Amino acid sequence: MKIKVLGCSGAEFPGHNPPGFLIDGKILLDAGTIGSYLSEDAQWKIRHILISHAHLDHIKGIPFLADNIIIKNKKHNVTVMGIAPVLKTLKNSLLNNKIWPDFTMIPNVEKAVIKFLEVKPGRQIEINGYKIMAYRVNHSVPATGYIIQDKRGKRLLYTGDTGPTHAIWKEAGRAKVDRAIIEVSFPNKMEALAVATGHLTPRLLKKELDKIKILPDKILITHPKPQHLKTIRSEIKKLGILNVRILKDGEVITV
Ligand SMILES: [Zn+2]
Ligand SMILES: [Zn+2]
């Protein structure tokens, strides 16, 4: 499995883009960054998008991708996957013919540029040989993390945005995860805000990792606020956990 980091920030600045992780060029994990990073050809290869939750920093690439597809005017569609409340929000609050055209009906329902596929927490689905399972996590809106297993049995865990949570760690302890992309948004001094908004700090990360029976081979941190990156980095270092580091936009992770 090759994971290209299109963005891994909890905000937007030059060089710091919202979350988007492209798996083997075909499956996109969150859609905070697409068109500002990928060429038209690369955008064309995306056939499935897994959404963790409907916050703007995780979905904002979708409308522009849909527009790029229709402009190229070919028979092509992308399947956007998420739990029911996430898809409902996308339909009612984004692709609602007010904020943006409803690309689930363009050019028509049958050939729509954007198709929705509901995922249910705890129920595995298979897409092009990847086994995908969603787990409810603890955020300010309905949200899931995902565990994705490729044909070779390599397992990637992605938390999306979450505060302290349980189900996904239980599954991570059942069979070893090779790579875990875990959110840490705030420094330790902002723990109250982190908990109130459904996010983690380095100290909370340590508590979450203590819940996993077998630690992942590598722990990769996403979603830090760039304004606090230095502090978060040094606080993570002080945890003394092996194989944990903060991700960078543009890097490629091989699993
Ligand atoms: Zn969020
Ligand atoms: Zn976010």
Cα–ligand 1 centroid distance for 107 (angstroms) = 31
Collect residues with CB below 5 Å from ion ligand 1: 55, 161
Q: Distance between CA 44 and CA 26 in Å, rounded? A: 9
Cα–ligand 1 centroid distance for 131 (angstroms) = 24
The predicted pLDDT at position 75 comes to: 85
Ligand nearest, relative to CA of residue 60: 2
Cα–ligand 1 centroid distance for 152 (angstroms) = 31
Cα–ligand 1 centroid distance for 142 (angstroms) = 9
Q: Distance between CA 40 and CA 161 in Å, rounded? A: 28
The predicted pLDDT at position 150 comes to: 97
The predicted pLDDT at position 74 comes to: 73
Q: Distance between CA 181 and CA 36 in Å, rounded? A: 22
Ligand nearest, relative to CA of residue 10: 2
Percentage of residues in the chain having pLDDT higher than 90 = 96
The predicted pLDDT at position 152 comes to: 97
2-254 CATH, one of 3.20.20.70, 1.10.260.40, 3.30.450.20, 3.60.15.10: 3.60.15.10
Sheet with 2-7, side-by-side order of all strands: 114-118, 78-82, 48-50, 27-29, 20-23, 2-7, 252-254
Q: Distance between CA 208 and CA 249 in Å, rounded? A: 24
Cα–ligand 1 centroid distance for 199 (angstroms) = 8
Tell me phi and psi for residue 28, to 5 degrees. Answer: -100, 130
Taking only the tens place, the pLDDT of each residue in 79-134 is 999 999 999 999 999 999 999 999 999 999 999 999 999 999 999 999 999 999 99
DSSP letter for 151, please: T
Ligand nearest, relative to CA of residue 31: 2
For the record, the structure tokens of 150 come out as 């490729």
Ligand nearest, relative to CA of residue 183: 2
Q: Which of 24, 19, 53, 44 is nearest to 252 (CA)?
A: 24
Ligand nearest, relative to CA of residue 162: 1
In sequence order, which residues have a C-beta less than 8 Å from that of residue 68 and are 6 or more positions away?
A: 35, 40, 43
The predicted pLDDT at position 13 comes to: 97
Ligand nearest, relative to CA of residue 32: 2
Give the residue ranges of the chain where pLDDT is below 70: none
Cα–ligand 1 centroid distance for 66 (angstroms) = 22
Percentage of residues in the chain having pLDDT higher than 70 = 100
The angle that helices 229-238 and 202-209 make with each other, rounded to 10 degrees, is: 40
What stretches of 56-180 show up as alpha helix (H) in DSSP?
A: 56-59, 61-72, 84-89, 167-174
Residue matched to tokens 């994705």: 148
